[in-house]
Each structure stands twice: as structure tokens, then as C-alpha cells.
A and B are shown apart, each in its own frame.
Chain A
Amino acid sequence: METLLAITIGCLVAAGVYLMLARDMLRFLFGLTLISNAVNLAIFASGRITVGGVPPLVPEGEKYPVGDVANALPQALILTAIVIGFGLFAFSLVLAMRAYSELGTLDTDAMLLAESNDEGDKA
């Protein structure tokens, strides 16, 4: 199971990096989403994958869960990360839309307005 997950994560990262190398901002953002999902899966894997295991419940009279259980904490971390990632992605998409309507392009190479050093340009 871990092997399968590792291959999946590897593919997601590879695709994400490929997209992020593009000059188009939208592609970059899609790549970023793929990588952040890959990271979430990696954290998920770090909490142990159980096949046919039991839920991490503490039986009555015991102090800790018994049997083949997964660590629930990484899953809680992922939930937080997903929520945060969603918020940031939503913001970035709106920013991309705004950039397209204001600057007329999503090609990051053409976005040089703030970095122009031309003294006469902006008085």
C-alpha cells in the first residue's frame, strides 16, 4: 500500500513541477494544487497506513487503542492543511483573474510593471 501511495505522490509531484515551470500563471497554480495534494498524501502516509486495521478507538477499560490502528494526528493535520490550502488557492485564483483583467496577460514573463526601472515611465 505504501509503495502504491509513494508512486502516486511521485507522479503528482512530477506533474506539479512540470506545470509550475510554465510561464502561465494559471498552470502554475494548478501545479501548486497538485503538489499540495501530494504533500497531504505524504503526511497521510507518515501516520501509518493500515489495511484491514481497526479504527483508533480506545476500548472500554483500556488506556490506548489496541490492534492495528493508524495514527489519527496526521489526518487532523491534513484536514487543517486542506482547509488552509483551499483558502489560499481561492485567493490566488481571484488574483489571477484580476491580473488578467488589469494586466491583460497571465504570462509571468510579461508582468514587469512593478519591476520596471524606467524613470520616465511612472511619474
Chain B
Amino acid sequence: MSWYLTLPLMTPFVVAVLAFLLRKNGVGRWVAVVGSLIGVGLSALLFMQILRDGVVVGQMADWPAPYGITLAADLLSGIMVMLTALAGLATTLYATSEIDPELEDLGFFAVLQLLLGGVTGAFLTGDLFNLYVWFEVLLISSFGLLIMGGTREQIDGAVKYVTLNLVSTIMFLIGLGFLYGATGTLNMADLRGAVDASEQQGLITVLSMFFLLAFGMKAAMFPLFAWLPASYHTPTSTVSAIFAGLLSKVGVYSLFRTFTLIFDNDVGYTHTILLWVAGLTMVAGILGALAQTDVRRVLSYQIISSIGFLLMGLALYTPLAIAGAVFYLIHNIIVKVNLFLVAGVAERLTGSSQMSRMGGLYKTAPLFSVLFLIPAFALAGFPPLPGFWAKVLLVKAALDVNAWVMAAIALSVGLLTIWSMMIVWTRVFWDPHPDGLEPTLSDLGDDKWPLLLPIIALGAMTILIGIFPQNFVVLSEQVAAQLLDPQPYVDAVLGAAK
């Protein structure tokens, strides 16, 4: 059994227990911060191990695949685990100032760690049923985080979030059951061979649609995204940030995993659907963002349009397109977490998240405004920030396969993203505050550094990726090569059995 795989997975759960037991007197929060820091270190170790060995595989209790529970990490999993740990550290640190003692007593930090554990598990598992279990772990912790605080708006948002996610869970379970019936295995590497060998290719394609629906709903793709903008802006900023950065990306990751490893026998059918959906997701997301007046809802709709870009990469299904999507995924997690954290600070300074009740921040807190501009420009795709490089790769990939319409959609959605960011900039930072408030950063008092440090760190990472994109492009191309030729992954998982 590989400790590299189990440690990043177990740490959040151990930290969750400790943070819960020590939650009185504000000790638990620092346990959580230190635990997240250890998590970052462990995930970096795992990543280095993956770079050295290719695919790292662990069989639980030494039951050989495909009979036991398999943990398997290729480059994509490694990247996602590391980003999860980084996002977790940033939000945990931010939460130490944002979360009031009341929520802390309820075990906020413990539930946040459970969520991180669930997300990490989903990225590391090599078994479809195990993936279902990890989905439930992260789902139930996300329910907890979403309703903590219990305001009327939160309950209202939670009703939509909970019910629609339960429907997607059931879709997933139906797909699982029938896939097991058709192939006799649920180990993802084993499924690849079993699906290829199956005589019922039509049935397999039908089953793949169950997975498309289930993961698509989690990923907030068109037309299944209604729950996201209804709920993501209601909880605390910390929770919004971690949801925005990670949760929908778990759905995207699962789509990438299943639709490259298992369901790649009828690409003409499945990936054409994905391509349509990707285009519609981009357009619907950004049009929604333009219509909103609450800054966090603008950002929520922008998540949906970024999901469209990611799906577009998967749907085009060329090495360059997938590399572009992976690069987009890396930068998008960092940027989205950052934007919600910035929005949280802006809300705290101006006293509202309604854009009509905000303003004046550029005049009184110019440096903070720059901290907003970095992720905002990155998302909009300004060179030299990473969003630009990701879109270059994706649009180039679309042009290479003569998908002119998709390229046009991607470019116009990029333009509309700039417009929607401009609205936020003008109304929140540029215009004077309606009540004549002149909020400055020192209004944050003692909480200043825990709030600003994650924002500065994530901003610095964004700039670094933007200035040195070459390493990340090469990495993304390696990921794409691994995804499009999963034979080494299959051999690593099943070969370990021999």
C-alpha cells in the first residue's frame, strides 16, 4: 500500500476530528490551519511521486484489483489533489477571521476538513462505486457548510442545492448499477477493457448518458445548473469560495475521467453532445452573469461559463484541446477561490453584496482594488495572465478541427466576461459609495492579515502561472497524453494485481 496515496486522504479526516474536539476557545481553527498546511506538503509529495513513477497505485488491504478498493493517482489526480489542498489552506486561513465563534462551536472547521477529505477521495479513487461514496461524503459536508448560520436565504438556497444534488446522486447510482450488470466490474481501469469487450455497445452508450447527467449536474452544465446560482451566494464567503473552486470541478474531473477512460468508444455521439452542451453552458452562464446585481451571484454565473470552457476542451477531444482544458482547470480553481475571497472582503468593507449598495473602494483602498483586478483579468483572459494562455490553447484547438462556431462562441464569451467584470469593477470599486462611506483596509482591524494573506498568495500564484506558462502548458500536455492513452494507467492498476 502506498502511503503517498493514503496520507493526503487520511489527513483531513484526522484533522477534522482534532479540530472538532478542540473547537472551544479557538484552538480548533489553528489545528485546521496547521492540518491544511500538512495537507499541502503531503499532496506535493504525492505529486512528486507521480512525476517520478507515472501512475501511483495503492490497493487497500492488498486485495488485488479489480476485486479490492483501488486508489490510483495519475497526473490529473495529482494536480487536483494539490489544488484541493491549496484551496483548502487558503480558505481555512481566511475562515479564521470570517467565521464567528458561534459557527466554530458547531464545528465549522471540522466540516470544512471533511469536505476537503471527500474531494480528495473523489480525485484519488480508482473505483466507480468508491467515487459514489466520496461524492456522498463531500455532498453531506457541503450541505452542512451551506446551511451553517441558518439564515432564511441559506435555507432557501439549500433546498434547491440539496434536492437537485440528490437527483444527480440517484442518476449516478442507476448508471452504476446497470454498468455493473452489463460488464461485471466497477474498477475504472478494468471497466475500460470490459466496455471495449462488451457486445452491447448501444447499451453502454445509453449508460454513459446516465453518467453524463449525473456528473453534468454536479458540474453545473447546461441545462442542469439552476441549483448553483440559487445557492452559492448564500453561505459565508469562505464556503462560497471553496464551493466555487472545488465542487463543480469534481463533476468536471469525473467527466474527464469517465469520458476518456471508459466511455470513449462512441466519441462521435457522446462528445458531440458534450460539445453542444459546452457551448450552451458558456453562453447561458455569461448571460446570467450580466443580468445579476449581487456581486457573488455575478461570480456564481461566471463559474458556469468557465465550466463550459472546460467541457469544450473535453468535447473537442484532441490532445491540444484537453491540454487547454487542464490548463484552464488549474488556473480557474485558483482564480475562482480568490475572486470569492475578494468579494467577501469587499462585502465586509462596504457592508453589502448588492452592487448598488457598494462602491468607493478604488479611492480608499487602491491596493485592494489591484488584488481584485489580478483574478478578474485572469478570468477575463488578459495577457499575460493565465486565463489568456488557456483560452489561446482552447481556441487554437477548436480552429484546428474546424470548429469555427465553438471558437467564435469561446471568443465572444471571453469578451462578455470582460464586460461583466467591468460592471463589477465600476460599481464596486470605481463609483462612490451610495452612503458616502469611505471604507479603508484598516477597518478590518486585527482580521486584516488572515483575510488578505490568502488573497495575496493566490494572486501571486496567478501571476506566476501567467508569466511562466511554459511549465504548466508542458504539464497539461502530459496530462492530456495520459488521458488520451490510458493504457499505462490501466496497466499500473491491473498490473499490480499480478
Contacts and interface: CB of A to CB of B under 8 A. Distances in A.
Interface of A: 20, 25, 28-29, 32, 35-36, 39, 42-43, 45-47, 73-74, 77, 80-81, 84, 87-88, 91-92, 95-96, 98-99, 102-103, 108, 111-115, 117, 119, 122-123
Q: What are the nearest 4 A-B pairs in CB distance?
A: A46-B181, A43-B177, A114-B157, A113-B156
Contacts of B139: 88
Interface string B230-273: 11011000000000000000000000000000000000000000
A91 B230 CA distance: 19
Contact of A92 (B156, B166, B292): B166
Contacts of B154: 114
B170 A35 contact: yes
A35 B160 CA distance: 18
A95 B176 CA distance: 28
Interface of B: 129, 132-133, 136, 139-140, 143, 147, 150, 152-160, 162-163, 166-167, 169-170, 173-174, 176-178, 180-181, 229-231, 233-234, 291-294, 352, 354-357
Contact of B177 (A42, A84, A99, A112): A42
A108 B133 contact: no
25 contacts: A25-B159, A25-B163, A32-B163, A35-B170, A42-B177, A43-B173, A43-B180, A77-B129, A80-B129, A84-B136, A92-B166, A95-B155, A95-B159, A95-B162, A99-B159, A102-B150, A102-B155, A103-B156, A108-B160, A112-B156, A114-B153, A117-B293, A119-B354, A123-B352, A123-B354
Contact of B170 (A32, A80, A96): A32
Contact of A103 (B152, B162, B354): B152
Residue with the greatest number of chain B CB neighbours at <10 A, chosen from A47, A108, A112, A123: A123
A20 B150 CA distance: 25
Given A32-B166, A32-B170, A43-B177, A98 B354 contact: no
B188 to A, nearest CB: 15
Contacts of A43: 173, 176-177, 180-181
B180 A46 contact: yes
A92 B154 CA distance: 14
Given A81-B132, A87-B140, 18 more contacts: A42-B174, A42-B177, A43-B177, A43-B181, A45-B181, A80-B129, A92-B166, A95-B147, A102-B150, A103-B152, A111-B160, A113-B156, A114-B156, A114-B230, A114-B231, A117-B294, A119-B356, A123-B357
A88 B166 contact: yes
Contacts of B133: 80, 84
B222 to A, nearest CB: 18
B162 A91 contact: yes
B180 A74 contact: yes
